[in-house]
Structure 1
Amino acid sequence: MRRNILITGASAGLGAEMARQFAAKGRNLVLTARREDRLKTLQDELTSAHPGIEVVVRRLDVTDHDQVFEVFRSADAEVGGLDRVIVNAGIGKGTPIGTGRFDANLATTMTNYVAALAQAEAAMELFRARNAGHLVMISSVAGLRGMPKAMTAYSASKSAIAAVGEGLQLEMLGKPIKVSVIQPGYIRSDLNEGVRKLPFVVDTEPGVRAMVAAIEAERAKAVVPSWPWRPLSSVLKVVPVSLLKRVI
Structure 2
Amino acid sequence: MPTALITGASAGLGAEFARQIAAKHGDLVLVARRADALEELADELRRAHGVGVEVLTADLADENDVHRVAQRISDSANPIDLLINNAGFGLPLQFADNPIEDEVRHLRVHVEASMRLMHAALGVMRGRGGRIINVASVAGFISRSTYSACKSWLIGFSRWANGEYGRDGVSVTAVCPGFTHTTFHARMGLEPGKEGIPAIMWLDAADVVREALRDAAKGKAVSVPSLRYKIIVAVSRLLPSSLTAGVARRGRV
Shorter-chain-normalised TM-score: which range?
Answer: 0.7 to 0.9
1:134 CA drift (Å): 1.1
| Counterpart amino acid of residue 229 in structure 1 | Y
**Aligned pairs, number:** 240
Partner of 2:2 in structure 1?
3
Provide Cα deviations, 1:75-119, integer angstroms capped at 9, x if missing partner.
664973111111111111244122253233222222111221122
Partner of 1:220 in structure 2?
221
* TM score, norm. by length of structure 2: 0.86
Unaligned runs of 5+ in 2: 249-253
Q: Is residue 16 from structure 1 mapped to residue 9 from structure 2 by the alignment?
A: no
Taking the TM superposition and a 5 Å limit, the aligned residue runs for 1:34-73 are 34-51=33-50, 53-73=51-71
Partner of 1:140 in structure 2?
137
Q: Is residue 91 from structure 1 mapped to residue 97 from structure 2 by the alignment?
A: no
1:33 CA drift (Å): 0.5
**Is the contact made by 1:32 and 1:58 (CA closer than 8 Å) also made in structure 2?**
yes
| Counterpart amino acid of residue 65 in structure 2 | Q
Taking the TM superposition and a 5 Å limit, the aligned residue runs for 1:178-217 are 178-193=171-186, 194=190, 196-199=195-198, 200-217=201-218
1:246 CA drift (Å): 5.3
SS of the equivalent of 2:43 reads helix
Q: 1:54 to 1:75 in 2, by over 3 A?
A: farther
d(CA) in 1 for partners of 2:181, 2:77: 31
Partner of 1:240 in structure 2?
240
| Counterpart amino acid of residue 121 in structure 1 | H
Q: 1:173 to 1:127 in 2, by over 3 A?
A: closer
d(CA) in 2 for partners of 1:114, 1:197: 31
Partner of 2:125 in structure 1?
127
d(CA) in 2 for partners of 1:230, 1:123: 29
| Counterpart amino acid of residue 61 in structure 1 | D
SS of the equivalent of 1:174 reads helix
1:38 CA drift (Å): 0.4
Q: Which one of the candidate residues 145, 161, 166 is aligned to 2:159? A: 166
Question: Identity of counterpart residues, as a percentage?
Answer: 31
Q: 1:14 to 1:239 in 2, by over 3 A?
A: same
Partner of 1:176 in structure 2?
169
| Counterpart amino acid of residue 139 in structure 2 | A
d(CA) in 2 for partners of 1:100, 1:29: 36
Q: 1:126 to 1:161 in 2, by over 3 A?
A: same
Provide Cα deviations, 1:199-236, integer angstroms capped at 9, x if missing partner.
40123222332223223333221111x22111111011
Provide Cα deviations, 1:143-166, integer angstroms capped at 9, x if missing partner.
01111xxxx111111111112212
Unaligned runs of 5+ in 1: none
* TM score, norm. by length of structure 1: 0.88
Q: Pick which of 138-147 and 65-74 moved more.
A: 65-74
SS of the equivalent of 2:176 reads strand
d(CA) in 2 for partners of 1:116, 1:213: 21
SS of the equivalent of 1:89 reads coil
SS of the equivalent of 2:131 reads strand
**Is the contact made by 2:11 and 2:183 (CA closer than 8 Å) also made in structure 1?**
yes
SS of the equivalent of 1:197 reads coil
